[in-house]
């Protein structure tokens, strides 16, 4: 029960933080062209494929060129394969926070999993509490 509760809280906190970062990137982000360095696909099973791009991008007001691996959808992957470039959206205050997808969307899966784990923990707690009350009634002879 405690493991589910702690795991749920960790998933909610991590998922919420990631979702917040992606929303902020969507609001405040700037786009620059990202140059394709490497690409790969990974068969993740059950007919699903994961698309990976390694892109170099340089914010206009920076001397640093950043290289980052992005997990993208098939459309962006195909565009990178054909053109050799993909728009990269980065946060001007932290250029390492970036995305290679056209729309910066936060992943809500950790939030759902965290909420589910918390519900499981509350259900187990309620069941154990109910069982303890039943045993106490039996022991006390009520």
Q: From first to last of its 142 residues, what are the pLDDT tens digits of the chain?
A: 777 788 888 888 888 888 888 888 888 889 999 999 999 999 888 888 889 999 999 999 889 999 999 888 888 899 999 999 999 999 998 898 888 876 666 667 777 888 888 888 888 888 988 998 888 888 887 6
pLDDT of residue 8: 80
At 102 the pLDDT is: 67
List the domain range (segments joined by +) for residue 94: 2-140
Size of the chain, expressed as the number of residues it contains:
142
Give the per-residue pLDDT at 38. Answer: 94
Q: In this structure, what is the dihedral angle of CA atoms 104, 107, 108, 112, given to the nearest 10 degrees? A: 180
Give the model's pLDDT for residue 106: 60
Max distance between CA atoms of the chain, in angstroms, equals 79
Task: Domain count for the chain, please give it.
Answer: 1
Tell me how far apart the alpha carbons of residues 100 and 57 are, in angstroms, rounded to a whole number.
10
Q: How many other C-beta atoms can be found within 10 angstroms of the C-beta atom of residue 119?
A: 12
Q: What tokens appear for 79 in the block?
A: 């565009």
pTM of the model: 0.69
């Amino acid at each position: 029960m405690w493991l589910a509760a702690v795991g749920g809280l960790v998933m909610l906190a991590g998922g919420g933080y990631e979702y917040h970062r992606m929303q902020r990137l969507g609001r405040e982000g700037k786009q620059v062209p990202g140059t394709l360095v490497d690409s790969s696909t990974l068969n993740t099973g059950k007919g699903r494929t994961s698309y990976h791009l390694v892109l170099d991008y340089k914010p206009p007001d920076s001397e640093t060129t950043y290289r980052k691996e992005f997990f993208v959808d098939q459309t962006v992957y195909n565009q990178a394969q054909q053109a050799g470039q993909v728009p990269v959206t980065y946060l001007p205050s932290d250029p390492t926070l970036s995305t290679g997808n056209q729309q910066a969307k936060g992943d809500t899966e950790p939030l759902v999993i965290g909420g589910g784990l918390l519900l499981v923990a509350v259900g187990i707690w309620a069941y154990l509490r109910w069982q303890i009350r039943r045993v106490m009634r039996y022991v006390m002879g009520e």
